[in-house]
Structure 1
Amino acid sequence: MSTAPPTERSPAPTAWKETGTVVLPGVLEKTRFEVIQAETLARLDLATPYIREEATAHRDGSFASPVHCGFLPAGPELERLAYDKHLLTALREATGLSRLVPRGGAVVVYRKGDFQGLHTDTVKATVTVGIALTKDLPAMGWAPGLCDAHPDRLAEVVAEHGLFPEGEDFTELSHPYADGSVRAFAGYNVPHWRQRHPGGTDLLATLSYMDL
């Protein structure tokens, strides 16, 4: 099963450079989305806890703070999507990163009380693609003003504002649901987070791409 090319012209790379995020329309067929959604629901019992209690700076320059959620390895169709040539081409065009290579996928499982504190993704995730597999997945916190901030600075932000910063310097990013589009964001460069989940079960499929 192949992902169709974008139905609209991809946003200019300048938009990516200015905001660190872009929504790509028309890159995920409805049938493919439904297969990914179904395979994820069928494998939920394979999810394992993902828990961290402390804030840490990693050698690759990324920053992590406390987290509590579930982690599910990608099913076959999600893994195929990660390596889909049409999606990769759209990402390269929208970001201007012509040497992006896929690193695979996974699903994050959020249940009541789950959260991810302010963090940046591993260096292997220059670009992260998020796909909401449930309709009411809450938006994630987003701090473009802290793009490329040193981990020590991010530790100061957590100490001052907590795991889920609020205020005019911080904003939110939502994820499209079942409309053929996906959101890409600069997971390694821009700090982001998710507040404590209000209840129920929400699923976020993620794909990672590294700029060589």
Structure 2
Amino acid sequence: MTTAAPIERSPARAAWEETGTVVVPGVLERARFEAIQAETLSRLDLTTPYVREEATAHRDGSFASPVHCGFLPAGPELERLAYDKQLLAALRVATGLSRLVPRGGAVVVYHEGDFQGLHTDTVKATATVGLALTNGLPAMGWAPGLRDAHPDRLAEVIAEHGLFPEGDGFTELAHPYADGSVRAFAGYNVPHWRRRHPGQLDFLATLSYMDL
């Protein structure tokens, strides 16, 4: 009986699996970025509160914890970016995930005091793209050492370290602003969070991609 040869991973796939994140340059023209900014400002009246008081594990394996911010559904400009074929091709190459498919987008609105506790994204977000639409958006918390951790373990982390962990094994991940690049990260696999927001109003566009 012969043993099947191991499947070789591309360098991009290996890097993605090791770090859980990649910055993809040269995929967002300035005019398109500014159009998404303007669209966001013009639709702020459609923002709805996104509030959760408890930590919960979901059936898809994702983990949620307390959150307080605003949620703005994607407008036409952001939706076109979410389904842009060139962006999708660049993400597939950069992550090594050749079967990524887009699942849509949204804008998270942060006012003073808003936050998102340690959580993971839905299973439909094998790769999440974060696009800062305001200059000075604080970095998000990032725990690559907890990649693929069971929700019970994440509940223990919150009990031990709180909603916004600090110390060894916990770091930060910043999003590029208006330089033509986007950051993709393993939203479903790696826990992340956002501390209580400072005084300024900030917007983060998010796009989700699922690996079939």
TM-score if structure 1 supplies the norm length?
0.94
Shift of 1:13: 2.7
How far apart in 1 are the matches of 2:16 and 2:30?
26
Mapping of residues 115-154 of structure 1, within 5 Å: 115-154=115-154
How far apart in 1 are the matches of 2:116 and 2:29?
29
Mapping of residues 60-209 of structure 1, within 5 Å: 60-209=60-209
Code of the residue aligned with 1:132 in structure 2: it is: A
**Partner SS state of residue 12, structure 1:** helix
1:3-46 per-residue CA deviation (whole Å, 9 max, x = no partner) reads xxxxxxxx833221110000000000000000000000111111
Q: Does 1:44 align with 2:68?
A: no
Code of the residue aligned with 2:110 in structure 1: it is: Y
How far apart in 2 are the matches of 1:63 and 1:197?
21
Shift of 1:171: 0.3
How far apart in 1 are the matches of 2:171 and 2:14?
20
Residue-pair matches, total: 202
Shift of 1:96: 1.1
The sequence identity of aligned pairs, in percent, is 86
Shift of 1:95: 1.1
How far apart in 2 are the matches of 1:43 and 1:35?
12
Across the aligned residues of Structure 1 and Structure 2, the Cα RMSD in angstroms comes to: 0.8
Shift of 1:200: 1.7
**Partner SS state of residue 187, structure 2:** coil
Code of the residue aligned with 2:54 in structure 1: it is: E
Code of the residue aligned with 2:84 in structure 1: it is: D
How far apart in 2 are the matches of 1:124 and 1:12?
21
Code of the residue aligned with 2:178 in structure 1: it is: A
**Partner SS state of residue 71, structure 1:** strand
Code of the residue aligned with 2:103 in structure 1: it is: R
**Partner SS state of residue 172, structure 1:** strand
1:123-169 per-residue CA deviation (whole Å, 9 max, x = no partner) reads 00110000000001000000000000000000000000000000021
1:77-112 per-residue CA deviation (whole Å, 9 max, x = no partner) reads 100000000100011111111111000000000000
Greater shift, 21-30 or 90-99, is seen at: 90-99
How far apart in 1 are the matches of 2:112 and 2:87?
32
Code of the residue aligned with 1:151 in structure 2: it is: P
TM-score if structure 2 supplies the norm length?
0.94
How far apart in 2 are the matches of 1:29 and 1:14?
28
Larger Rg: 2
**Which consecutive residues of structure 1, in runs of 5 or more, have no partner in the other structure?**
1-10
**Partner SS state of residue 168, structure 2:** coil
User: What residue in structure 2 maps to residue 8 of structure 1?
Assistant: none
Code of the residue aligned with 1:137 in structure 2: it is: L
